[in-house]
Structure 1
Amino acid sequence: MSKITKIKIKNLFGISEYNGDGKSVELSGQNGVGKSSVIDAIRYALTNKSDRRYIVRNGETEGEILIETDSGLRINRKARTNQADYKSVKQNGHEVGSPETFLKDIFTPLQLSPVEFMDKTEKEQNAIILDMIQYDWSLQTIRDWFGEIPDWVSYDQNILQILNDIQSEKGDYYRNRQDVNRDIRNKKSFIEDIASEIPEGYDAKKWENENLGELYQKIERARKENENIEKAKRFVEQRDNKVRSFEADKEIKLSALDREFAAEKERLVKEKERLEAQLRENEIRMSGLAEKKEDKTAVIKKEYEANVAKYDSAMEEYKDIAEKDLIDFSELQEQAQQTEKMKSYLNEYKRMLDLQDEVAELTEESEEYTRKIEKARMLPGEILETATIPINGLTVKDGIPLINGLPISNLSDGEKLDLCIDVAIQKPNGLQIVLIDGVEKMSTKMREGLYKKCKDKGLQFIATRTTDEEDLTVIEL
Structure 2
Amino acid sequence: MHIVRLNAENIKRLSAVEIAPNGNLVEITGKNGQGKTSVLDAIYWALAGTKPIQGKPVRDGADTGSVTLDLGEYVVTRKFRVRDDGEYTTSLTVANKDGAKYSDPQKLLNALVGDLTFDPLDFSRMKPLDQVIALRALVPDYDFVEADRLSLKDFNARTEVNRDIRDLQARVEAIIVPDGTPDERVDLAALMEELQKDLEANEAARRHAEKVNSHTAAIATLEEEIQRGRSDIARLQAEIANIEKNIAARELGIEEHRDLIDDLGLAPAQIDTADVRQRIAESETINRNVELKKQRRKLNAELRDKTEESANLTGSIAVRKAAAAKAVRDADLPVEGLELTEDGVLLNGVPFDQASDAEQLRVSIAVAGAMNPRLRVIRVRDGSLLDDDSMAALASYAEANGLQVWVETVQSGREAAIVIEDGHVAKREEAGSDA
| Shift in CA distance, 336/45, structure 1 to aligned 2, threshold 3 Å | same
Which one of the candidate residues 194, 217, 220 is aligned to 2:177? 194
Q: Which has the larger radius of gyration?
A: 1
Output aligned runs, 1:37-116, within 5 Å: 37-47=38-48, 48-50=50-52, 52-70=54-72, 72-82=73-83, 84-90=89-95, 96=102, 99-115=105-121
Q: Give the C-alpha shift of residue 219 in structure 1.
A: 1.2
Asked if 1 retains the 8 angstrom alpha-carbon contact of 2:28 and 2:420, the reply is: no
Asked if 2 retains the 8 angstrom alpha-carbon contact of 1:106 and 1:427, the reply is: no
Deviations along 1:278-315, one digit per CA (max 9) or x if unpaired, are xxxxxxxxxxxx7xx68xx74x6666566555565455
Q: Give the C-alpha shift of residue 462 in structure 1.
A: 1.3
1:130 and 2:112 matched: no
1:204 and 2:184 matched: yes
Output aligned runs, 1:142-153, within 5 Å: 144=150, 150=156
- Counterpart of 1:406 in structure 2 is 350
Which one of the candidate residues 405, 412, 415 is aligned to 1:461? 405
CA distance in structure 2 between the partners assigned to 1:306 and 1:337 by the alignment = 53
1:319 and 2:262 matched: yes
CA distance in structure 1 between the partners assigned to 2:188 and 2:107 by the alignment = 80
CA distance in structure 2 between the partners assigned to 1:432 and 1:396 by the alignment = 24
- Counterpart of 2:19 in structure 1 is 20
Scaled by the length of structure 1, what TM-score is found?
Answer: 0.70
| Shift in CA distance, 9/255, structure 1 to aligned 2, threshold 3 Å | farther
Number of aligned residues = 404
Q: Give the C-alpha shift of residue 414 in structure 1.
A: 4.6
- Counterpart of 1:352 in structure 2 is 293
Q: Give the C-alpha shift of residue 103 in structure 1.
A: 3.0
Deviates most, 374-383 or 245-254: 245-254
SS in 1 for 2:409: strand
Asked if 2 retains the 8 angstrom alpha-carbon contact of 1:436 and 1:463, the reply is: yes
Q: Give the C-alpha shift of residue 370 in structure 1.
A: 3.7
Asked if 1 retains the 8 angstrom alpha-carbon contact of 2:144 and 2:324, the reply is: no
Letter of the 1:5 counterpart: V
Tell me, which stretches of 5 or more residues in structure 2 are unaligned? 413-418, 429-435
CA distance in structure 1 between the partners assigned to 2:208 and 2:302 by the alignment = 61
Letter of the 2:184 counterpart: A
Q: Give the C-alpha shift of residue 454 in structure 1.
A: 2.4
Output aligned runs, 1:220-239, within 5 Å: 220-231=199-210, 234=213
1:361 and 2:302 matched: yes
CA distance in structure 2 between the partners assigned to 1:405 and 1:12 by the alignment = 44
Asked if 2 retains the 8 angstrom alpha-carbon contact of 1:25 and 1:474, the reply is: no
| Shift in CA distance, 27/401, structure 1 to aligned 2, threshold 3 Å | closer
Q: Give the helix-richer structure, 1 or 2.
A: 1
Tell me, which stretches of 5 or more residues in structure 1 are unaligned? 151-171, 259-289
Q: Give the C-alpha shift of residue 86 in structure 1.
A: 1.5
| Shift in CA distance, 358/125, structure 1 to aligned 2, threshold 3 Å | closer
| Shift in CA distance, 226/69, structure 1 to aligned 2, threshold 3 Å | same
CA distance in structure 1 between the partners assigned to 2:257 and 2:70 by the alignment = 139
Output aligned runs, 1:217-256, within 5 Å: 217-231=196-210, 234=213, 241-251=220-230
CA distance in structure 2 between the partners assigned to 1:133 and 1:467 by the alignment = 38
Asked if 2 retains the 8 angstrom alpha-carbon contact of 1:246 and 1:308, the reply is: no
Asked if 2 retains the 8 angstrom alpha-carbon contact of 1:9 and 1:41, the reply is: yes
| Shift in CA distance, 359/381, structure 1 to aligned 2, threshold 3 Å | same
SS in 2 for 1:363: helix
Asked if 2 retains the 8 angstrom alpha-carbon contact of 1:187 and 1:359, the reply is: no
Deviates most, 356-365 or 210-219: 356-365
SS in 2 for 1:355: helix
CA distance in structure 1 between the partners assigned to 2:184 and 2:225 by the alignment = 63
Asked if 1 retains the 8 angstrom alpha-carbon contact of 2:5 and 2:21, the reply is: yes
- Counterpart of 2:416 in structure 1 is none
CA distance in structure 2 between the partners assigned to 1:433 and 1:142 by the alignment = 32
Scaled by the length of structure 2, what TM-score is found?
Answer: 0.76
Q: Give the C-alpha shift of residue 63 in structure 1.
A: 1.2
SS in 2 for 1:32: coil
Deviates most, 30-39 or 367-376: 367-376
- Counterpart of 1:280 in structure 2 is none
Output aligned runs, 1:369-448, within 5 Å: 369-386=310-327, 390-391=333-334, 392-448=336-392
CA distance in structure 2 between the partners assigned to 1:73 and 1:347 by the alignment = 87
SS in 1 for 2:391: helix
Letter of the 1:204 counterpart: E
| Shift in CA distance, 147/175, structure 1 to aligned 2, threshold 3 Å | closer
RMSD: 3.8
CA distance in structure 2 between the partners assigned to 1:90 and 1:310 by the alignment = 148
| Shift in CA distance, 338/43, structure 1 to aligned 2, threshold 3 Å | same
| Shift in CA distance, 432/314, structure 1 to aligned 2, threshold 3 Å | farther
SS in 1 for 2:205: helix
Deviations along 1:136-176, one digit per CA (max 9) or x if unpaired, are 3657x6665565784xxxxxxxxxxxxxxxxxxxxx95697
Asked if 2 retains the 8 angstrom alpha-carbon contact of 1:11 and 1:64, the reply is: yes
Task: Quote the sequence identity (%).
Answer: 18
- Counterpart of 2:432 in structure 1 is none
Q: Give the C-alpha shift of residue 401 in structure 1.
A: 2.4
SS in 2 for 1:466: coil
CA distance in structure 2 between the partners assigned to 1:474 and 1:315 by the alignment = 156
| Shift in CA distance, 301/109, structure 1 to aligned 2, threshold 3 Å | same
Asked if 1 retains the 8 angstrom alpha-carbon contact of 2:158 and 2:314, the reply is: yes
Asked if 2 retains the 8 angstrom alpha-carbon contact of 1:10 and 1:63, the reply is: yes
| Shift in CA distance, 194/96, structure 1 to aligned 2, threshold 3 Å | farther
SS in 2 for 1:196: coil
Asked if 1 retains the 8 angstrom alpha-carbon contact of 2:28 and 2:407, the reply is: yes
SS in 2 for 1:224: helix
Deviations along 1:182-207, one digit per CA (max 9) or x if unpaired, are 5555455455x414252xxx2515x2
